[in-house]
Chain A
Amino acid sequence: MIQFHHVSKAYPPDSAALTDITLVIDKGEFVFVTGPSGAGKTTLLRLLFRDEEPSQGEILLNGQNIGRLKSRGVARLRRRIGLVFQEFKLLPRLSALENVALAAEVIGVPRKESHNRAYRLLSELGMQKKSDARPLALSGGEQQRVAIARALVNEPLLVLADEPTGNLDSQIADEIMRLFLDIRGRGTTLIIASHDLELIQRYGTRIIYLRGGRLAEDLERKVKKGSGA
């Protein structure tokens, strides 16, 4: 589904964020990208949703070279990708329901349908009673649930999450990870950038370890029963 062929990303004048990355991620995989700060985790994700273009190499998503997309193509690509960020990126002026529905409305889903989808997802994530609340009235975990609902509202092929539990305590982080596992159960591919080794040990099935912008390790492992996977 996703193929990186000798992908490098450098910023002028001579700062290399990623160097010669080659890897394949199949449909439905649950992948952790980890490594120390500055290893290139966020850059790898940003290349996938075309917030950045690779300096070298190519990235194929379902056979399409996403490095060559023009702005309209980038918009279409992002409709197939759900994004979750550490800082949630919710609009404070909108309610939880409106924040989720916005992602569907902007791509042409009628308002009623968007709101129905948003309400259904918020209910599945245990947020139905707070659907009218504004983000600032919600806890960090609740805000992240809303952000996850927004990432799922257009039924994406791929969900990218950049440090999704970075602002949450360990109990809430566990809840969020279980939600991600449920999402994987729908057949969606998940790539999570995180430096939380405890969380990765507990939930990671495939772990891509970056160091200094290079692919240091690519591990696949079975997860013990009872760890949630």
Chain B
Amino acid sequence: MSWSQMSFVVRRASSNLRELLWTHMLTSGTMAMTLFIFGSFMLLESNLQSLLKGWGDQIQLNAYLERGLGSSETESLLNRVRALPEVLRVRHITQEQAWRDFRAALGAQSNVLDGLPSDVLPSSLEIAVKPAFRDTPLVERLAARLKQEKGITLVEYPRDWIDRLSLLVLAVEWVKWLLAGGLFVITFFIVGSTVKLAILARRDEIEIMQLVGSSRTMIQAPFVLEGMVQGLVGGALAVAGLWGAFELARQEFSLSGGVWGAPNQWQFLDINGMALILLLGWFLGFAGSLFSLRRFIRTWRVLKSAAHP
């Protein structure tokens, strides 16, 4: 395509955008609504992931040490455990520390411990696991490996809690992709239908361009460019709407709080998330307009042939 043809395409597209402003606004508005739903889910998912990450930080394994383990042996064991790829951090709890923590946990009932020796509890290692390794088989494997370490007598971990957390993360992932897929298909057809309205309004123009020897690219390019602009506008409207809804929800929930964490720690979409919505809008506009245009021209050719026997 030459410069003069490109300039023609841009001029046609911008003049069509102006002349069929309401049709284009309808398309952009439809796209904005579906992208808003998709964006809301992205927002929910990213904040839920942060929340799960906070909960996941609390997952740890407790490895109880042999009585009478020397300080150099304990130090060597600590270094070996720290070097494991699954391990985020390790804290050594001495017998004295374990006793103090236990008494503190019992609070007012701590006098039941009176008379017991303070070395009744074993020393232990509190091992936090890296996020990537926080699912059942990986934690089981780590526990088995720790049990084989010299100096460790018993390894405990909250198996049920890890199972539930893994399941929740998996469910969020799946719902995200299912919803994204469903929304993509629905939006594609809605955009296709509204773009078809714009094409129908200009079928004479398409016919005349075909008759004067315009190439297929030249015929389709202004429509596709308009579709891309509509998509970008739809994406921008969706991001603006999401921002407004996010701020409103944050204000509303700051009064109630609860299980969803402190609203002031909620995060809006990062630059990649916003770019994804714009990109998705652009792509939907591009693919939707191209798809409907091709289908329209094909159907039209068949109808025209049938009309001139």
Q: Which residues of A contact B (CB under 8 A)?
A: 11, 15, 17, 42-43, 46, 49, 52, 71-72, 75-81, 83, 89, 91, 93, 102-103, 105-111, 150, 154
Contact = CB atoms under 8 A, between A and B. Distances in A.
Instruction: Please provide the 3 A-B residue pairs with the shortest distance between their CB atoms, ordered closest to farther.
Output: A78-B213, A79-B213, A11-B309
Interface residues of B, number: 22
Given A108-B4, A111-B7, A102 B212 contact: yes
14 contacts: A17-B309, A46-B308, A52-B305, A75-B215, A78-B210, A78-B212, A79-B213, A83-B211, A91-B208, A102-B208, A105-B4, A105-B8, A111-B4, A154-B212
Nearest to A9: B309
Nearest to A83: B211
Interface string B205-224: 10111111111101000000
Q: Could you tell me the dominant secondary structure of chain B's interface residues?
A: helix
B270 interface: no
Contacts of B8: 105-106, 111
A72 B208 CA distance: 16
B207 A75 contact: no
A75 B213 contact: yes
Interface string B4-15: 110110000000
B160 interface: no
B114 interface: no
B72 interface: no
Contacts of A17: 309
Quick one: which of B5, B7, B208, B308 has the most chain A CB within 10 A? Answer: B208
Contacts of B210: 75, 78
B308 A106 contact: no
Quick one: which of A91, A107, A154 has the most chain B CB within 10 A? Answer: A107
Contacts of B308: 11, 42-43, 46, 52
Given A46-B308, A89-B204, A89-B208, A71 B216 contact: yes
Given A17-B309, A46-B308, A108-B5, 15 more contacts: A11-B309, A52-B308, A71-B216, A72-B215, A75-B214, A78-B210, A78-B211, A81-B213, A83-B212, A89-B208, A91-B204, A91-B208, A105-B8, A106-B214, A106-B215
Given A79-B213, A89-B211, A111-B4, A106 B205 contact: no
Contacts of B204: 89, 91
Contacts of B7: 111
Given A17-B309, A106-B5, A77 B213 contact: yes
B213 A106 contact: yes
A150 B2 CA distance: 21
Contacts of B4: 105, 108-111
A118 B213 CA distance: 17
A91 B203 CA distance: 10
A81 B210 CA distance: 12
